[in-house]
Amino acid sequence: MGVLWCLVSALGFGLSPIFAKEAYASGVSVTGMLTGRFVIAAVVLWLVVAWRRPPLPVARVALTAVGLGGVGYAVQALCYFGAVARIDASLAALLLYTYPALVTALAVGLRRESLDRRKLAALGCSAVGLVLLLGLGGSAAQLSGVLLALGAAVAYSLYLTVADGLPENLDVYLLSAIVFTAAAVTLGVTGGLDLPATAAGWAWTGLLGLVSTVLAMVALFVGVRLLGAPTAAILSCAEPVVTLVSTSLVYGERLGAGQLAGGVAVLAAVLVLRLDLDLVRQRQLVGGHAPDAPVDRGHLDDR
């Protein structure tokens, strides 16, 4: 059941470019779609919070969560879905998945983690994959879309690095509700409340908000509870594969052989880094120091 829930989550997140592209085709702007997405997700999650009644965070933690949503998550989403509007979604998804390597590099730079041979190999593998993805992109890899996808990866790595400092006992539904609300406000202000104007636009935006945000997040949360964060994180690597296959079937998108090799290298780096996390958890348990909580918050506020 844990595997099934994680794969449902990966399916929801992986289908988000399809919903976004259809919303664009219905005349919805990037900011309008994202504002509608986060408004829908926030309303649903605040209802969940009202039912669960978790303890409220202290002012400092609440302000941090607001900043994460209003700045970090809003910028990440704007960059990623802006990239999806300009380049093949499969390429954008694979470029975004360089974020685990960036998070690791930040953790090493901030001296939160030490650099060992496993991490070094993963960072090198991710770098090689990035070179292959960019160097053999062809005409489809327009510069602005590539830069936006890489910007999304950088923004998401910074978001996760800051989120890692939040209290472990902070309710994930409450955190997500605050983050989505703040993101909706930021995008609504910057985009001038340019919400969808047609029924089709709202339908695709609604699918993005309900399937690729709320359902995907809740499914991953359940999967983490049943399997543990490291295993759930590894299974989440199915997300870019879902994007690649679905966009190939629906839009005929194709990656070149070099790009596919680069994508494999990027995902291999992700697996190495997350298996390294699994080994750390096992050593903590063997040494009698169990992790404080089985939840990897970074993957519960995913795209």
pLDDT for the residue numbered 127: 82
Q: How far apart are CA 177 and CA 223, in angstroms?
A: 19
167-217 pLDDT per residue, tens: 888 898 999 999 999 999 999 998 877 888 899 999 999 999 999 999 998
pLDDT for the residue numbered 264: 85
53-88 pLDDT per residue, tens: 999 999 999 999 999 999 999 999 999 999 999 988
Residue, of 34 and 164, whose pLDDT is higher: 34
pLDDT for the residue numbered 187: 93
**Which residue type, as a one-letter code, is found at position 224?**
V
- Contact call for residues 14 and 243 (beta carbons, < 8 A): yes
Q: Of 67-71, 93-97, 164-168, where does mean pLDDT reach its minimum?
A: 164-168
pLDDT for the residue numbered 296: 42
Nearest to 246 by CA among 88, 36, 98, 77: 88
pLDDT for the residue numbered 115: 77
pTM of the full predicted structure? 0.83
Helix (H, G, I), strand (E, B) or coil at 185: helix
Residue, of 234 and 154, whose pLDDT is higher: 154
Quote the percentage of the chain above a pLDDT of 90: 40
- Contact call for residues 126 and 268 (beta carbons, < 8 A): no
Distance spanning both ends of the chain, measured CA to CA: 23
233-289 pLDDT per residue, tens: 777 888 888 998 999 899 888 877 877 888 888 888 888 877 665 544 443 333 433
Q: How confident is the model at residue 15 (pLDDT cuts 50, 70, 90)?
A: very high
Burial class (CB in 10 A: 0-12, 13-18, 19+), 291: middle
Residues 6 or more apart in contact with residue 277 via CB below 8 angstroms: 229, 230, 233
- Contact call for residues 87 and 145 (beta carbons, < 8 A): yes
Nearest to 269 by CA among 62, 91, 125: 125
pLDDT for the residue numbered 178: 94
pLDDT for the residue numbered 32: 94
What secondary structure does DSSP assign to 206-263, as a single string? HHHHIIIIIIHHHHHHHHHHHH-HHHHHHHTTHHHHHHHHHHHHHH-----HHHHHHH
Angle subtended by helix axes 172-191 and 59-67, to nearest 10: 50
pLDDT for the residue numbered 27: 92
- Contact call for residues 205 and 38 (beta carbons, < 8 A): no
Q: Which structure tokens are listed for 274?
A: 């997350």
